[in-house]
Structure 1
Amino acid sequence: MPDKTNQNLRFGVIGCGRIAPKHTESILAIPDAELAAVCDIVPGRAEEFARKYQARPYLDYQEMLRSEDIDIVTVATPSDLHAEIGIAAARAGKHVMVEKPMAMTLESADRLIQACREAGVKLGVIHQNRFNQSVKTLRAALEDGRFGMLTHAQATVRWNRNDEYYQQAPWRGTRLQDGGVLMNQSIHNIDLLQWMMGPAEEVFGFTRTALRPIEMEDVAGAVIKFNNGSIGIIEAASTIYPKNLEETLNIFGESGSVIIGGIAVNRIEAWEFPGSEDEKAGIFAAQKTDPPSVYGFGHREIIENMMEAVRADTVPAVPGEEGRKALEIILAIYKCQETGQPVKLPLVE
């Protein structure tokens, strides 16, 4: 790959829908990043988006990938296209940032990982909540061994996605193109859960389509047994009345307890370690208010991390192998729903 050490890195965004502004606005806020192009199959949407963010519009991502003016591609399309477009981008010599889920199957996730490896390009999965200050503070305590033996943890998403949300596009809530509340909304928190607790060994869960007119689940509950013997509990719902309530991550060990809450795991609500009263007071005093949306504050930092990985030839914070882990847990929960039996990992699709 060309040396980009002292040059601006140029981005192309594929998909100009609901999440795309978070990517484009974050790119434009980074001094040494440029937004070169945007792409969407809907002509009016692509052109309007390009005018708003001063980029070149494309209707065909294959045509966009032939441009020599793009270094990094961000894939923000419907979920079933993530792997296909990411593979094409890698083969075109572009570094790849892909929205969650990185793929809809483990097989396609593995093909994306392999394509990027063979092309010598970087692959980063957009799990931006790893860059929340609350999550970084928790991770540092975990890496310092302050929890002692981990006992259990809980990841909870209590949000609202009403009928209007699912009617925005025919692919929303479908099995093949989108998934349900686990795959679409809760995957970020499941990523954090497994990142903190370590490799998962066994999964059992239930899903239900309770209120929304969709093919997949709008409510789910699951239990994970991790390799270290600890237990994880997942609660996920897009049915919360009347609006988004919370996304929380609770981690418990023999000598520590931390609860991160807020609308998007953005606020530390409990911080209990031996002799930590002054530390806790400082943490609470420094915290920001809730972000303006559930997308949080982490997009700019994860994009900057990808740029550093490209320049320094290092591994992105959330490489494909990491993004695959939350996907595997969710697919295991889906398999539990089909079979009524616990599922051992690694999952065989």
Structure 2
Amino acid sequence: MTRAVRVGVIGLGAIGQSLLRAFQADPQVEVAAVCDVDAHLADRTARPLSASAWTNHREMLGAVDVDLVYVAVPPRHHHPLALDVIRAGRHLLCEKPLALTLGEAQDMQRAAQAAGIVHALNLPLQGDPGIETFRRLVQEGSLGALRRAELTLVFPQWPRGWQQNPWIGRREQGGPIREVGPHLLHVILTTLGPVARVWAHTEYPAHDPAACETAALGTLELASGLLVGVSCLTNVPRPEQVSLTVYGADGTAGLVNWAVPVAAMGPIPLQPVPVEEPQENAGARLVRALVARVRGGPGDLVDFTMGVHIQAVLDAWERSSAAGTWVEVTQA
């Protein structure tokens, strides 16, 4: 019998705990160690797992035999922790965005590739049947020549109720563009192609210069010439909306509620599109792919190369917002 893949988790906040449950539920995985700066949280999490608890990740890496490490800490800590994991020769799953800056993301990508480890980014829409259905609708040609796309992000509250932590609402690391943007940027990049340049305008609270954006407008110009309009608005009396719409000469296809595909051929309302593949928990899908890759087999993962491409768009967005001009996207 193949032994279980031994996992260590660094960072036990809401996201870390969520994927920890998926690791725990997979019979092919053993959670061997958990680490958090909050010693009580680490102990409380480790006890029912029969795992060891740590507050220092370097000590954990030096003392515990783990195959894979999940880095689930705030973005500004991704780079140093990931490099420590890579130097220890462990396979690596990192939260998104990959890093705080493009330079850090590129550094992580180069180090992971040189080490020959499995490296992956936690983007739960990867492999989602609704996303795959939307992608086929756009790429099969039935929409006709593509004319425009629109990405809409609306949040009645930011940070959202389940995201109450010290950084998610701050400008340095948080905000909806940096936090939610990578999910949909990944869909855009893999469905419509690379982004060539960006124009962005971002609004911040006047009374708190450290707070993240409350609104943003922008345009992504793809290498194909297609324009993607981006609209983001927070703290408005509306339900949450995360949607992507692609307009063609003959039809329209979109995603509503993150991953529900819709389409219309001709001037009629968008209608739900049946999804043939069965839906499953995104965490379970990710863990299964990680186990397969760690064992040397095939697995559908988003690697650090795509993480760098996403980071390059985020970097261009921030530079454009600061400069008030179009900014070229650095191609990794």
What TM-score do you get using the length of structure 2 for normalisation?
0.87
Matched-pair contact (CA < 8 Å) for 1:28–1:34: yes
Q: Which residue of 2 aligns with 1:342?
A: 326
Identity %: 23
Q: Which residue of 1 aligns with 2:201?
A: 206
1:199–1:150 Cα change, 3 Å: same
From 101, 106, 116, the counterpart of 1:105: 101
Deviations 1:310-338 (Å, cap 9, x if unpaired)?
Answer: 22355752111111222211221111121
Q: Which residue of 2 aligns with 1:308?
A: 292
Q: Which residue of 2 aligns with 1:271?
A: 263
What CA distance in whole angstroms lies between the structure 1 residues aligned with 2:39 and 2:176?
Answer: 30
1:196–1:285 Cα change, 3 Å: closer
Q: Which residue of 1 aligns with 2:309?
A: 325
How far off its partner does 1:341 sit? 0.8
1:145–1:62 Cα change, 3 Å: farther
- SS of match in other structure, 2:135: helix
How far off its partner does 1:246 sit? 1.9
What CA distance in whole angstroms lies between the structure 2 residues aligned with 1:258 and 1:53?
Answer: 44
- SS of match in other structure, 2:149: strand
Deviations 1:130-152 (Å, cap 9, x if unpaired)?
Answer: 23221021223345444443322
Q: Which residue of 2 aligns with 1:70?
A: 66
- SS of match in other structure, 2:274: helix
- SS of match in other structure, 2:237: coil
- SS of match in other structure, 1:130: coil
Q: Which residue of 2 aligns with 1:216?
A: 212
1:58–1:229 Cα change, 3 Å: same
Matches within 5 A, 1:124-143: 124-143=120-139
- SS of match in other structure, 2:230: strand
Q: Which residue of 2 aligns with 1:277?
A: none
Matches within 5 A, 1:277-288: 283=274
Matched-pair contact (CA < 8 Å) for 1:71–1:95: yes
How far off its partner does 1:113 sit? 0.7
The alignment status of 1:228 with 2:220, answered yes or no, reads no
Matches within 5 A, 1:169-208: 169-176=165-172, 178-208=173-203
1:287–1:121 Cα change, 3 Å: closer
- Residue type of the alignment partner of 1:15: G
How far off its partner does 1:344 sit? 1.3
What TM-score do you get using the length of structure 1 for normalisation?
0.83
What CA distance in whole angstroms lies between the structure 2 residues aligned with 1:27 and 1:151?
Answer: 42
| Residues matched between the structures, number | 327
- Residue type of the alignment partner of 1:196: T
Matched-pair contact (CA < 8 Å) for 1:210–1:219: no
Matched-pair contact (CA < 8 Å) for 1:211–1:218: no
1:284–1:8 Cα change, 3 Å: closer
Of stretches 110-119 and 128-137 in structure 1, the one that deviates more from structure 2 is 128-137
Matched-pair contact (CA < 8 Å) for 1:100–1:184: yes
Matches within 5 A, 1:138-177: 138-162=134-158, 168-176=164-172
Unaligned stretches of 5+ in structure 2?
A: none
Deviations 1:259-289 (Å, cap 9, x if unpaired)?
Answer: 2112xx1322x22359xxxxx777079997x
Matched-pair contact (CA < 8 Å) for 1:42–1:59: yes
Q: Which residue of 2 aligns with 1:57?
A: 53
- SS of match in other structure, 1:182: helix
- Residue type of the alignment partner of 1:283: P
Of stretches 80-89 and 316-325 in structure 1, the one that deviates more from structure 2 is 316-325
Matched-pair contact (CA < 8 Å) for 1:90–1:121: yes
Unaligned stretches of 5+ in structure 1?
A: 275-279, 289-295
Matches within 5 A, 1:9-20: 9-20=5-16
What CA distance in whole angstroms lies between the structure 2 residues aligned with 1:37 and 1:220?
Answer: 40
What CA distance in whole angstroms lies between the structure 2 residues aligned with 1:84 and 1:310?
Answer: 22
What CA distance in whole angstroms lies between the structure 2 residues aligned with 1:219 and 1:343?
Answer: 19
